[in-house]
Amino acid sequence: MSTTTTTTTTTTTTLPEATPPPSHPNLIHIHRSPLPFASGAYSLVSLPAGSLLTKITTATASKKAYTSVQTGRDTHIELNSDLVYCNHSCDPTINFDMEKMEVRVVDDRDLKAGDPLTFFYPSTEWEMDQPFECTCGSGEKCKGWIDGAKNLGNEVLGEYWLNRHIEEMVGERDGGVEGRL
């Protein structure tokens, strides 16, 4: 999942020497799995709730894809770093703030070394490129089918920190009512 081009994902069985160098070697451990969608990012550091994990510095504009992150109403980026391995969870450990280009620890829970680095995909994505049935394992907190913020109610979205473009699009969906969420 490095820079651009269309020749990605042709390697199935990953050879160690075929993997790119880690982009955040002091912050993020990547667990690589040959199984589809089973790779993931884990924190190497402990940080208090709300604090900055890292700035997003290698993003490039892109079309919507399963690896992209939405940054505005019609804009998407590729992360071009190990941050792409941050999976979805309905009980996430981090937020992707695409306005400030920051990855921060969630506001209500400290991050501990060894924790999976996960964010709530509908906090950035309005309509996801590849919806999926969630297996995050967060029990009653799990929302099941994840396809973006578009089809989630305000009571669900209200549980999460959301990017401004998502809040705006939710507001328009709901008829421009001020002050919701």
Where on the chain is the footprint of Zn ion (CB under 5 A)?
Answer: 90, 134, 136, 142
Q: Which is nearer to Zn ion, 44 or 142 (CB)?
A: 142
Which CB sits closer to Zn ion, 79 or 90?
90
Q: How far apart are CA 112 and CA 109, in angstroms?
A: 9
Q: Classify the C-alpha dihedral 45-14-92-178 as positive or negative.
A: positive
Rounded to the nearest whole angstrom, what is the least distance from the CB of residue 175 to Zn ion in the complex?
Answer: 28
Of residues 83 and 90, the one with the C-beta less far from Zn ion? 90
Whether the Cβ atoms of residue 124 and residue 104 lie closer than 8 Å to each other: no
Select 118 or 163, whichever has its Cβ closest to Zn ion: 118
Quote the least distance from Cβ 109 to Zn ion, whole Å.
Answer: 16
Nearest-approach distance from CB 89 to Zn ion, in angstroms: 6
Per-residue DSSP letter, 163: -
Shortest spacing between CB 131 and Zn ion, in angstroms: 13
Distance (Å, whole) CA 97 – CA 144? 23
Least separation, in Å, of the C-beta of 95 and Zn ion?
16
**78 phi/psi in degrees, rounded to 5:** -100, 140
Task: Provide the H-helix boundaries in the chain.
Answer: 154-157, 164-173
CA dihedral sign of residues 61, 36, 109, 155: positive
Q: Token digits for 104?
A: 């921060």
Nearer to Zn ion by Cβ, of 20 and 137: the residue is 137
Task: Please tell me the distance from the alpha carbon of residue 61 to that of residue 158, in angstroms, as a whole number.
Answer: 29
